[in-house]
Amino acid sequence: MKVFSMKIIPLLLGTLFLFGCYARQQVHSIPDFTATQFDSNEYASAVDNFLIIMDASSSMDDDYMGNKKFIIALEIINRLNLTLPELLQNGGLRSFGHDKAVSEKNTVLFYGMEPYSTKALKEKLNLIKTSGGTSPMHSALTEAGQDLNGVSGKTAMVIISDGQEAYGMGHSITLAAAQALKNQLGPGLCYYPVIIGDNNKGTDLMEKISGMGECGFATNADTLLTGDGMARFVKDVFLTQKTIRPMAPKDSDNDGVTDNMDKCPGTPHGTMVNADGCPPVTQKPAPAITETLNAQGAWVIDEAYFDFDKAVVKPSAFEFLDNIAEFLKNNPEVFININGHTDNIGTKAYNDVLSLRRAEAVKTYLTNKGIEKNRLACQGFAFSKPVASNKTDKGRALNRRVEIYPVK
């Protein structure tokens, strides 16, 4: 006996150790949760009404995967509430079972039916603090008929339960109550049971209820505890994506050519334009470039002054600059100074940089036409050399310019 005992004790201890490890492996903590935020500009409510029926009976006090089923049910409703956007749908929360500290009644409508509010549903859910009592799901379904009496449109009923009815009563009375409610509301009612636990009979009951609705489905509670799982459930049950109509292309300058096709934006309204938004090109002889020097001996890019706070050469300057480039090619001994200017809006330091950028933009254009960089010198004078009054829009526009001085 002593030898037998010495051999059997390690075996028993090993078995208990393995069993303890196995049991610990089955305990699953409730995962962390981050609610998905659905944009009300992108989604609309797919339902007009929803009613959550929560099992708060004594069977929900049992453990499932290391957590009380009642706690899992509360957490699912809380996470659903955090994910579901307020979209003018009516909502409600009814529970059944109950510890006497919660209610003497076996089923109570704690919230609704009223326009859904995240805050209001949370406050009412907090009143259901503990589980207890029998499991009269059939009573909750029957009373739900009164909750939903007179509603119209589509209704989603979310039943959160382990599906275990009281005292082995069987499921026939519960299925009959669910069918009666379906008959009352017709095709607009869809059942979405959420199964907590792994009781086979309870799962069978919940799946039969979902099939009765002909438009719903049953879900295991485990899948709704994650942010992604709850987001899929909310999207599938409660939401529909809005049809986003493409915006008509803009025509900012009203020239009959939309902005996405307009190669000459800013063409004045009323100007005749081609399909690309640019005025028709008219062939005209190149001007005698040497005859266009102003009194100071400079070329000024006529009708191509820069926009406010911009250093972009306008298309209307291209032809004039092309003529200057051609002149420089024919006269390789000529160098040029390119002087940029601004109006007086803004600080001197800022306009110093802006005026130089305008000069460099003209230099870049000419170098792209084949003129050597060493023949082109740039300077910026900010607003130190105005040619017109800066007190008017027209005067400031004339001051936003580039002057080109030929030097031999």
Token pair recorded at residue 45:
């409510």
* Amino acid at site 11: L
Band of pLDDT at residue 8, cut at 50, 70 and 90: very low
What pLDDT shows up at residue 288? 54
Band of pLDDT at residue 20, cut at 50, 70 and 90: very low
CATH architecture for segment(s) 30-241: 3-Layer(aba) Sandwich (3.40)
Q: What is the pTM of this model?
A: 0.56
Query: What are the residue ranges spanned by the domains of the chain?
Result: 30-241, 251-282, 289-407
Give the pLDDT confidence of 345-404 residue by residue, as tens digits. Answer: 999 999 999 999 999 999 999 999 999 999 999 999 999 999 899 999 888 888 888 888
Give the pLDDT confidence of 110-137 residue by residue, as tens digits. Answer: 998 999 999 999 999 999 999 988 878 9
Q: How many CB atoms lie within 10 A of CB 380?
A: 21
- The residues, ordered by sequence, that sit 6+ positions from 335 with a Cβ below 8 Å of its Cβ are 375, 376, 377, 406, 407, 408
What pLDDT shows up at residue 21? 40
CATH architecture for segment(s) 289-407: 2-Layer Sandwich (3.30)
- How many Å separate Cα 83 from the centre of its chain? 14
- According to DSSP, residue 117 is labeled -
Domains 30-241 and 289-407 share a fold: no
What pLDDT shows up at residue 13? 46
Give the pLDDT confidence of 42-101 residue by residue, as tens digits. Answer: 999 999 999 999 999 999 999 998 899 999 999 999 999 999 999 999 999 999 988 899
Q: Has residue 216 got a pLDDT over 60?
A: yes
What pLDDT shows up at residue 5? 43
Characterize the bridge pairing of strands 67-68 and 63-64.
antiparallel
Rounded mean pLDDT of 310-325?
87
Rounded mean pLDDT of 149-167?
86
Q: Has residue 233 got a pLDDT over 70?
A: yes
* Amino acid at site 37: Q
130, burial (CB in 10 Å: exposed 0-12, middle 13-18, buried 19+): middle
Angstrom distance (rounded) from CA 241 to CA 235: 9
Angstrom distance (rounded) from CA 334 to CA 407: 6
Band of pLDDT at residue 7, cut at 50, 70 and 90: very low
